């Protein structure tokens, strides 16, 4: 699988790069970011974190706004930042920002209008996963996943679907129970159809109850001034974890909102969480 280098920036002792490739799973060109710490540039095998971004974001959002590179270089983490959906003029879209391009929800759509391109689960878990192992010094035994908001849903749901691929997981303000919040209901209805039983296979709270404990700990940070709090249902995540004995470090933070000023404040803790889990 070939990839085309679009941008390359020295950043600390490593490099922040962006690539484009012809993605088979989603039948369109896709871009992704990769931060390579000094250790990876020297060819040493590195623990690797996928970061899944939220609604309206792109492969560049985390690299610009989350301030993770300093510690990632220090700790020797490769950071992979996919885009949030398939994109392009011939890719189905919606006039609203919470559906279609920029809002792929990291699942495989089954409905006719969406199923051709919106196969984001296959894209992340199979195609991009294999591609970064092929092209970079990724240690395939030390891969974790994290995400924010819609991407927090993506990180949690993919981790519990594929614990053999993602050995650690964390999230910022994740959509923990998409089946019962307005963003999730809208997206799932369009991508998966009207039968709500089909939705549960992509709902983290439901998946955890069904699949059981898989991680020695999960880290989730949640701001208490989050303007989208009613979409997120952290209590459902807590209940699901309690039900199956899955350890969850769920931290609530006074005054913090939903944005990247919140994420930058706690990103170092997430890198340390993954380092511990991936030891």
Span of 11-19, 104-112, 151-159, 233-241 interacting with a second copy by CB under 8 A: 11-19
Q: CB nearer to a second copy: give 185 or 269.
A: 269
Question: Per CB under 8 A, which of residues 45..84 are in contact with a second copy?
Answer: 64-65, 67, 69-70
Q: What pairs with residue 91 in β-bridges?
A: none
Distance CA 159, CA 202 (A): 11
Residue 272 binding a second copy, by CB under 8 A: no
Of 149, 170, 176, 204, which residue is the catalytic one?
Answer: 149
Q: CB nearer to a second copy: give 68 or 158.
A: 68
DSSP 254: T
Of 148, 190, 233, 258, which residue is the catalytic one?
Answer: 258
Q: CB nearer to a second copy: give 98 or 268.
A: 268
Q: What pairs with residue 14 in β-bridges?
A: 11
Residue 16 binding a second copy, by CB under 8 A: yes
Cβ pair 23, 127 in contact under 8 A: yes
Pairing of strands 219-223, 169-172: parallel
Residue 240: name the closest of 273, 274, 203 by CA. 203
Q: CB nearer to a second copy: give 193 or 259.
A: 259
CB of 208 to a second copy, least distance (A): 29
Cβ pair 271, 68 in contact under 8 A: yes
148: annotated active-site residue: no
Distance CA 17, CA 12 (A): 13
Residue 85 binding a second copy, by CB under 8 A: no
- Total chain residues near a second copy (CB under 8 A): 24
Please list, in sequence order, all residues whose beta carbon lies within 8 angstroms of the beta carbon of residue 108, skipping any fewer than 6 positions away: 115, 118, 119, 120, 121, 122
269: annotated active-site residue: no
Q: CB nearer to a second copy: give 195 or 225.
A: 225
Question: Per CB under 8 A, which of residues 206..235 are in contact with a second copy?
Answer: 223, 225
CB of 4 to a second copy, least distance (A): 19
149: annotated active-site residue: yes
Span of 115-123, 147-155, 159-167, 258-266 interacting with a second copy by CB under 8 A: 258-266
Q: CB nearer to a second copy: give 199 or 262.
A: 262
- List, in sequence order, the alpha helices (H) in the chain: 38-41, 61-65, 69-75, 120-122, 129-135, 150-161, 182-192, 196-199, 204-211, 234-244, 260-277
Residue 177: name the closest of 223, 231, 216 by CA. 231
Of the candidates 2, 10, 197, 230, which one interacts with a second copy according to CB under 8 A?
10
DSSP element (H, E) containing 30: strand 28-36
Of 83, 203, 221, 226, which residue is the catalytic one?
Answer: 226
**Residues at the site binding a second copy, with contacts judged by CB under 8 A:** 9-12, 16, 64-65, 67, 69-70, 223, 225, 253-257, 259-262, 264-265, 268
Which residues are part of the catalytic machinery?
A: 149, 226, 258
């Amino acid at each position: 699988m070939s990839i085309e280098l679009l941008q390359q920036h020295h950043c600390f002792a490593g490099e922040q790069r962006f690539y484009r490739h012809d993605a088979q799973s989603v039948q369109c060109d896709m871009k992704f970011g990769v931060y390579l710490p000094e250790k990876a540039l020297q060819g040493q095998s590195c623990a690797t974190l996928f970061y899944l971004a939220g609604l309206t974001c792109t492969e560049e959002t985390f690299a610009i706004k989350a301030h993770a590179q300093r510690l990632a270089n220090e700790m020797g983490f490769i950071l992979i930042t996919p885009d949030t959906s398939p994109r392009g003029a011939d890719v189905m879209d919606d006039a609203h920002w919470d559906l279609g391009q920029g809002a792929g929800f990291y699942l495989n759509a089954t409905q006719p209008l969406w199923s051709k391109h919106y196969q984001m689960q296959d894209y992340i878990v199979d195609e991009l996963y294999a591609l970064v192992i092929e092209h970079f010094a990724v240690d395939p035994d030390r891969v974790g996943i994290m995400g924010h908001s819609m991407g927090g849903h993506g990180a949690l749901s993919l981790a519990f679907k594929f614990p053999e691929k993602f050995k650690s997981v964390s999230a910022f303000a994740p959509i923990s129970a998409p089946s019962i919040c307005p963003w999730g209901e809208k997206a799932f209805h369009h991508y998966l159809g009207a039968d709500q039983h089909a939705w549960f296979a992509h709902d983290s709270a439901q998946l955890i109850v069904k699949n059981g404990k898989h991680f020695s700990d999960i880290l989730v940070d949640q701001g208490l001034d989050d303007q989208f709090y009613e979409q997120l249902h952290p209590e459902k995540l807590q209940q699901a974890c309690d039900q199956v004995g899955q350890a969850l470090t769920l931290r609530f933070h006074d005054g913090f909102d939903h944005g990247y000023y919140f994420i930058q404040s706690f990103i170092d803790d997430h890198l340390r969480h993954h380092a511990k889990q991936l030891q």
